[in-house]
Chains A and B, each alone.
Chain A
Amino acid sequence: MEWLNALVQGTLLGGLYALFAAGLSLIFGVMRLVNIAHGDLIVLAAYLGLSVTTTLGLHPLLALLMVMPAMAAIGYAVQRGVLNQTLGDDLLPPLLVTFGLSVIIQNGLLEVYTADPQKLNAGALETASVAVGGLSLGLLPLLTFGIAVAVIWGLQWTFYHTALGRAFRAVSDNQDIAQLMGLIRHHIFGLAMALALAVTALAGILLGVRTSFDPSIGGGRLIFGFEAVIIGGLGNLWGTLAGGVILGVAQTLGAKIDPGWQVLSGHIAFLLILAVRPNGLFPRISA
């Protein structure tokens, strides 16, 4: 029963990792940009949530109504103002610039919020649980997993059933032809980053409610996000959810053996899958 419990808790934790990863996956899929600052943007969203909840006294989930548009706006501005200029045939410039952004965000957060660990206060939601077949499931992890599934479904639907999604896929397929068809690439990339950071806002707030955070933890979240994306296969959003779940399960099962093995066993699972399936478990069929 304890192992089953670890399995279920790990699956639910995977929802949070999938939310970390969804934005990364979307950005890489649309513009082949590897965003090193992604983890720090998650932490930035958590801090924005902290500011909104403490100054306005709102519940963290209500604060999303302000943090999501704010992060989307930041995303659009950063993409148009900085990242678009770095995109080209070479992968290195965007890598270096997002690494720089990562340093800037971390130090900015240190300056404004100090290095003290913080936490978002979600009241009764943090401890509420439901009993299912002998297992006690936290309401927050369940909610997180539900949101992750809804976000992945929503992104998938956007990609395949809306004009915006069609535009994302067209620029992803062939940027030059897309330009000749009247698509303004820089604007579409801005919208993709806005959407990705709106998802990041969700991830940041849910992270902040679940655990304490400080300006330095972005790097770790970035690694978890990367691992989920790569386990699932690049460019496949449902695969990203599966990747998050595999990572979450590996971590909780590892922690069951020895609490010190939690993070390590996640990395080992990732390396094993990478060794056996270098393209991930569910790579996108059309390359």
Chain B
Amino acid sequence: MTTFLKLENLSKAFGAVKVADDLSFALARGEALGIIGPNGAGKTSMFNLITGTLSPNSGKVFFDGRDMTSLNAAQRCRAGMARSFQVPQPFSGMTVFENAMIAATQAAGLRGREAEQSCLKVLDQTGLLSKSNTTAGNLTLLERKRLELTRALCANPKLLLLDEIAGGLTEAECASLVQTIKDIHASGVSVIWIEHVVHALLAVVDRLIVIDFGRKIAEGEPQTIMESPEVQEIYLGIEVDA
């Protein structure tokens, strides 16, 4: 398998706080990678560095054969990466459908009828079709989480970055979400998924990376990683879900 995304010695500090400390890893095309680690370990910051919301103090990001390091968030999005946020951030004054259309037209570059069809398909897939004309600010938390996923998918990404999308869902909702993400992954989209709900994560990902204090402390087969002493130590008594 070819390398699709590569982080090379990424470092980023805010004063004395290191959110990324010489972070390196690679993702193969079509792979699903899980990221775990305690709160404040730098997982979301890593997404910000990948998508261009943060620029690193040093290190490089390569995506789909191109050096992304000097590109801004909009350019990286157009290159094929889309993300969801842990705390949903919809365009709250716009309808669900309009939120989706922004991603379909701006990020995926679709026009008119084609963009509308694509949005309808994704809204159906994420279960928000009946809420299409609801103003995003009026959605429940769960619906907002689905809107995050919807918007990311409407961008027609080659790489989907999910940030704690399963947190706060019921068991049944979580199962349906896992199925949706499996389907997306099966259609050829590479996935990086930050998640505390470990059983959801393990149902999808091929590989796990553990991050703490901005550093990669373990990497490998999901089962091996979960049984390793470092991970046991980090998670024991910290995470109820683990």
Given contacts A179-B73, A185-B74, A286-B135, contact A173 B53 (CB under 8 A): no
Q: Which of A181, A184, A286 contacts B102 (CB 8 A)?
A: A181
Instruction: Tell me the complex Cα distance, A173–B107, Å.
Output: 17
B72 on the A face (CB < 8 A): yes
A80 on the B face (CB < 8 A): no
In the complex, how many residues of chain B place their beta carbon closer than 8 angstroms to a beta carbon of chain A? Answer: 28
- By a CB distance below 8 angstroms, the chain B residues around A163 are 101, 105, 111
Q: List 7 A-B contacts (CB under 8 A).
A: A166-B102, A176-B53, A181-B106, A182-B103, A182-B155, A183-B74, A183-B106
Contact A174 B94 (CB under 8 A): no
- By a CB distance below 8 angstroms, the chain B residues around A176 are 53, 73
Q: Which residues of A pack against B, CB within 8 Å? A: 163, 166-167, 169-170, 172-174, 176-185, 286
Q: Mark B16-59, 1 if CB is under 8 A from A, else 0.
A: 00000000000000000000000000000000000101000000
Contact B92 A181 (CB under 8 A): no
- By a CB distance below 8 angstroms, the chain A residues around B151 are 181
Instruction: Tell me the complex Cα distance, A42–B135, Å.
Output: 36
Instruction: Tell me the complex Cα distance, A182–B204, Å.
Output: 27
Closest 3 CB pairs of A and B: A182-B107, A182-B77, A182-B106
Q: Which residues of B pack against A, CB within 8 Å? A: 51, 53, 72-74, 77-78, 82-83, 85, 89, 91-94, 98, 101-103, 105-108, 111, 135, 137, 151, 155
Interface of A is mostly: helix
Instruction: Tell me the complex Cα distance, A178–B83, Å.
Output: 12
Contact B74 A173 (CB under 8 A): no
Instruction: Tell me the complex Cα distance, A134–B111, Å.
Output: 53
Instruction: Tell me the complex Cα distance, A177–B101, Å.
Output: 14
Contact A169 B51 (CB under 8 A): no
Contact A182 B93 (CB under 8 A): no
Q: Which of A180, A183, A184, A286 contacts B92 (CB 8 A)?
A: A286
- By a CB distance below 8 angstroms, the chain B residues around A177 are 85, 89, 91
CB closest chain-B residue, reference A285: B93
Q: Which of A166, A179, A184, A185 contacts B94 (CB 8 A)?
A: A166
Instruction: Tell me the complex Cα distance, A75–B112, Å.
Output: 28
Given contacts A166-B98, A167-B106, A170-B102, contact A180 B91 (CB under 8 A): no
